[in-house]
Amino acid sequence: MNTFKKLKHFYWPYKKYFFISLIFLFFVTAITVVYPIVLQITIDNVVMQDRYSLIPYISIAFILLMIVKGFSTFFHQYLGEYFGITTVYKLRNALYEKLQVLSFRYYDNAKTGDIMSRLTADVEGFRFFLSLGFSELIRIVLLIGFSLSVMFYYSIPLALVTMAAMPFLGVVVFQFDKRVHPAFRKIRKSFGQLNTRVQENISGMNTVKSLSREDFEIGRFSTSNDKYRRKYLDTSEIWSKYFPLMEFIGNVCAVALLAYGGYLVIDGSLGLGELVAFFSLVWYILGPLMNLGFVVNQFSQAKASGERLLEILDAKEDIVEKENAIDHEINGHVTFKDVTLTYTENDDSALKDISFDAPPGKIIGLIGATGSGKTSITQLITRFYEPEKGEVLIDGRPVSDYKLKSLRKGIGFVLQEPFLFSTTIRENISYGNPEMPDEQVIDAAKRAQAHDFIMEMPKGYDTLLGERGMGLSGGQKQRIAIARAICINPSILVLDDATSAVDMETEFKIQKALKEVMKGRTSFIIAHRISSLKHADEILVLEEGEIVERGTHDKLLNNNGPYQRIYDIQYQDREEIMNTVN
C-alpha cells in the first residue's frame, strides 16, 4: 500500500464521498444476504407447512427490500465514481503542472508517447481501482462476514466445513498477487513504448514518406506491438493457472457441503430450507473469494500505474527558484563569467570557460558548426539549464536570483524550428501576451513581414492553423514566430537561426525589420549564414564549446581564422552558382 500512501493527499480530501458510499454498500450487501433467508423461510415455513397465505406478505417485504437495494446501489455507485473521478481530476492536473516545471534535462530523456500513456492509461487504471476496487474489496469482506454469521446461526459444524476452504484460497490469491504485479508493471511499460512508437511515427511522417520507409516503420511498430502482446499473454498465463485452481477449491468445498449437509438433513438436525439457504450462502463466500483474484488484478494494475505516476510527481526539479528570488523587470545586460556546461555526467562539456559581456542594446552573433555550443549559451540565459561552473549574470545579478517568470518574460525566443499551436494565427502571435490589442498584433506581424501573407488567407488573422502550423510554409511559420517574440517586447532577443527557413529575399526583408526591432535590446543571433551576422556588434566563433575567435565582421575577416574560412566557403559557393547561371 506504499504507493497509495504516497498518493493519499489526492484522494483523502474526498474521503467523505467514499465513506458515504460504503454506508449504502452496507445496505446493499445486507439485503443481498437476506435472499437465502427468504428462500429458507419459503421452503421450511410455507411449502413444508402448507402456509401459502404468507406468500403475499413475503412478496411485499421482498419488493420493498428490492426498492431499498436499488436506491442504495445507485448512491453507492455514483458516490464511488465521484470519489474516483474527482481524485484523478486533481491528480491529472498535478501531473500536468509538474510537467510544466520540470527542466529540459527531464525532457532530454523522456519519451512523449510514454508521458502521454501515463497521463491517460495509467491515470485511468488508478481511477478504476479507486472507484470500484476499494469498494469491491470491502463488499467481499462484508458479504463473507454476513454470510458466515447466518451460516453459523443455521449450523456451526457445516459453517466450519465451509471455512476450511478459506486458508487454501487465501494462499492461492497471495501467490497470484505476487506474480501478477510485476507482469502488469511490464505491461504498462510496454504500452508506453508502443505509444511512443506511434507518436514518433506520426510526428515524423514527412520524413518517413520522403525516404520511402513505410515498410520499415510498419516492421518497427509490429515489433513493439508484438512485445506488448507477449507481455499481456504472460499475464493471461498467470490468470489461466491460478483461477482454475481457485474454482477447483471452491467446487470441492461445495461437494463437501452437499455431502455433509445432506447427511444432517437426513439426520433431522438441519432443515431442507436451511440446507438450500446454506448452499446459496456458500457461494456468497466462495464466489467473492474467487473474485478476490480480480480485485487483486485491479489492485496490481492500479499499483503499477501509481508507481509510474509517482515517477513523474517525484521527478527532481533541477531548476528551482530561491525563496528570496526577486520579481524585477530586466534591462538586458548579459554577462558570462567562465561558464562551463555539461548536459550529461561523464560526457564532454557543451561549453568550456565561456566569458563575454553584452550591455543593453548590444548585438551578439554566435556562429560555429552544429554542436559547437551556440544554442547552449542562450539556454543558460533563460535558466533552462544550470552551469556546472561559472556564473551567468543579468543586470549584474546571477540569473538564479530572479523569479523564473520574471526572467523569462523579458527574453524573446525565435527558434530554428518554430512551434505553432492548433489555433488561430492571432492567438499564436499574441500567445505570450494574450491581452494585447489587435492593432499591436497586426503591427508585430507587419514588422515581421508576415502581415501580407496572413491577409491573403481566407479568414486573415482568424485563420485556424493545423497541428504544428500545418498548412504554412517554413518561412511563414518563422515569420509568425518572430511576430510572437516582438509582441512580448523583450529586453533580450534570441534569434536561433531564425531566418534559416526563408529565401534570400524574405531574409533581407526580415533582417531589415529586425534591425528596427533589436534597437535598445540585447540580441543574440545564432546563424549559419554570415549575411545574418554582418551587423552584429560582436561575433563569437565557437568550436567544441569554446570561443576561438571574437570581434566584428570586418575584424574577423582580417584574422585569417575559422570565421574567414566559413566566409570563403559560403561566398565561394555563391560565386560558383552565379558563374553557372551566367
pTM of this prediction exceeds 0.85: no
Q: What is the pLDDT of residue 538?
A: 93
Residues 6+ apart with CB under 8 A from 208: 201, 214, 217
pLDDT for 498: 66
Angle at 529 between CA 419 and CA 514, to 5 degrees: 60
Q: Which stretch of DSSP H or E encloses residue 355?
A: strand 351-358
Position 192 scores a pLDDT of: 73
Q: How much is the pLDDT for 578? A: 44
pLDDT category of residue 582 using cuts at 50, 70 and 90: very low
- Tell me what the mean pLDDT of segment 142-156 comes to: 86
Q: For residue 23, which of 59, 58, 68, 55 has the smallest C-alpha distance? A: 68
Strand partners, 393: 335, 398
User: What is the CB neighbour count within 10 angstroms for residue 13?
Assistant: 12
Which pLDDT value is given to residue 580?
A: 46
Supply the DSSP string of 135-162, one letter for each residue.
HHHHHHHHHHHHHHHHHHHH-HHHHHHH
CB 437, CB 501: distance < 8 Å: no
Pick the CATH number of 2-313 from 3.30.1280.10, 1.20.1560.10, 3.10.20.90, 1.10.10.60: 1.20.1560.10
Report, as an integer, the average pLDDT of 188-203: 74
Select the CATH number that applies to the domain covering 326-410+523-582 from these four: 3.40.50.300, 3.30.465.10, 3.30.830.10, 3.40.50.670.
Answer: 3.40.50.300
- Whether the predicted pLDDT of 234 surpasses 70: yes
**Three-state SS string across 487-553, please?**
HCCCCEEEEECCCCCCCHHHHHHHHHHHHHHCCCCEEEEECCCHHHCCCCCEEEEEECCEEEEEECH
Cβ atoms within 10 Å of 371's Cβ, excluding its own: 14
pLDDT winner (highest mean) among 55-64, 217-226, 278-287, 536-545: 536-545
Chain centre to alpha carbon of residue 554: 51
The confidence band for 546, taking pLDDT boundaries of 50, 70 and 90, is very high
Q: In 3-state terms, what secondary structure has residue 391? A: strand
The DSSP result for 569-580, as a single string, is HHHHHHHHHHHH
For 85-120, how does the pLDDT look when each residue is reduced to its tens digit (9 = 90+)?
A: 899 889 989 988 888 888 888 887 777 778 888 888
Helices (H), 268-360: 272-313
pLDDT at 581: 42
The pLDDT score that the predictor gives to residue 220 is 80
pLDDT by residue (tens digit) across 328-381? 889 999 999 999 998 877 778 889 999 999 999 899 999 988 888 888 999 899
What is the DSSP code string of 67-107?
A: HHHHHHHHHHHHHHHHHHHHHHHHHHHHHHHHHHHS-HHHH
210-238 core/surface letters (b: 16 or more CB in 10 A; e: else) = eeeeeeebeeeeeebeeebeebbeebeeb
Alpha-carbon distance of 76 to 20, in angstroms, equals 8
Residue with the three cell numbers 511515427: 201
Q: Where are the domains of the chain?
A: 2-313, 326-410+523-582
Burial 181-191 (b: 16+ CB within 10 A, else e): bebbbbbbbbb
pLDDT category of residue 70 using cuts at 50, 70 and 90: very high
- Mean pLDDT, rounded, of the chain: 83
